[in-house]
Amino acid sequence: MQVTYWLEHAWLDPEVEPGVVVEVSQDGRIADVRTGVDTPPPGATVLRGLTVPGLANAHSHAFHRALRSTVQVGSGTFWTWREVMYSVADRLTPDTYHALARAVYAEMALAGISTVGEFHYLHHAPDGTPYDDPNAMGEALIAAAAEAGIRITLLDTAYVSSGFGKEPDRHQRRFSDGTTEAWAERATLLKDRDHARIGAAIHSVRAVPAEQLDTVAEWAGTRGAPLHVHLSEQTAENDACLAAHGCTPTRLLADHGVLGPNTTGVHNTHLTDEDIALLGASGTGTCMCPTTERDLADGIGPAVALQKEGSPLSLGSDSHAVIDLFEEARAMELNERLRTRTRGHWTAAALLRAATADGHAALGWNDAGRIERGALADLTTVALDSVRTAGPVPRLGAETAVFAASAADVRHTVVGGRHIVRDGRHELVGDVPGALAAAIGALRV
């Protein structure tokens, strides 16, 4: 059956239009978009507020959700935070990871996220022994996304060393396939399906030896699959790469064929002018995760310069200190204001584009992130009458969403024409807070 939605207000990039009808065909795509429809047609489902395309969370580590608040106690650095993260990773099994990810992805749906890019490197048992199904952990994530009602790009991650020339430590053994050739054999067993696409990731230049980078790049290239990499998140990584190879991580990736329009660098924080030029000229994307970058005291990446050079921007919630892409979009602009003491680096429309169309493109879903005929029928509706959003005129809905709204203002999430979140309640996971509490509680020692 064809489904009809009437959107009280809709962001049809770059403008907000009142009274928009969206017809959804049986294949979950938008069959028609009509503007200027003052009242809902008979039988239409009404979405009151501002509807935007479904949001794309381009960088997630689902198990990091178990760290929320725990890692806010005391001080420390990225590296001490990492030890706490490892302690959680050590305790996960395919079953417990499925339960946690299902709850986390349901939280994402409540926040208006219709697609997640899962940067996945928890492959094997804690001692490094493969499970009977070598992709048991990845399949758990794919199943969790389906049960939470969202799309997923599983960015299966190559991680074979703990540093330049170092073997994986005891925590990292479960991340490693031994070589990127063995990684490729295992990753090839994963298959796309309606709600899931398979991509690749290089954890970082310290986790994949230089001579093995080409294997991952070629695997992704032959499939036209997205390829992501943590890039220059920490100055210590840059220093170690310079010591080992005499060049920056960006230059090392460029020399081994990793950069390109299907590649996204995550963070891209500590870059030289040459790095920025290399990323921009190659069309390599940049995924900014401002909440995590602030939380870990990583620094502020040169997003403005990267975009000017030709690097498309996307957004991620990464460590899930919060799951709120409106906050990530807002933070990207406000971080720049603090650094430069000037305002207006991006329009609200440009920031929404990073959270929607450009985020989906970074994850290999070029047919999502827009409210237009032929696109996947993924929609997110933000209330315009909450204590945060009430007052502005509707034509400023994009500015309201980016600079005032939060995930708590999401009223509806539609994926493939299917209502996943209705009036702020998840239709598939009845008690999302309870599911989160149970899944995280099961991981406590």
Q: Which of 98, 203, 256, 267 is catalytic?
A: 267
Which of the residues 13, 295, 318, 409 is marked catalytic? 318
Q: How far apart are CA 306 and CA 313, in angstroms?
A: 8
Contact between residue 116 and residue 362 where contact means Cβ atoms under 8 Å apart:
no
CB atoms inside a 10 Å sphere around CB 82: 15
Are 174 and 129 in contact by the 8 Å Cβ rule? The answer is no
104, 444 Cβ separation under 8 angstroms: no
Are residues 150 and 116 in contact, defined by beta-carbon separation less than 8 angstroms?
Answer: yes
Helical (H) or strand (E) element with 195? none
Handedness of CA 315, 25, 195, 410 (dihedral sign): positive
CB 134 within 8 A of CB 189: yes
Query: For residues 398 and 348, is the Cβ–Cβ distance under 8 A?
Result: yes
423 is a catalytic site residue: no
Nearest to 259 by CA among 238, 280, 236: 280
Report yes or no: 286 and 311 within 8 Å, Cβ to Cβ.
yes
Single-letter residue type at 30: I
The answer to whether 317 and 325 are in contact (CB under 8 A) is yes
Residue 185 CA, distance from chain mean position = 25
Q: Find out whether 429 and 130 touch, Cβ atoms under 8 Å.
A: no
Q: 33: closest CA among 48, 15, 20?
A: 20
| SS3 state of residue 441 | helix
* Angle, helices 136-148/94-110, rounded to nearest 10 degrees: 30
Is 267 one of the annotated active-site residues of the chain? yes
Active site residues: 267, 318
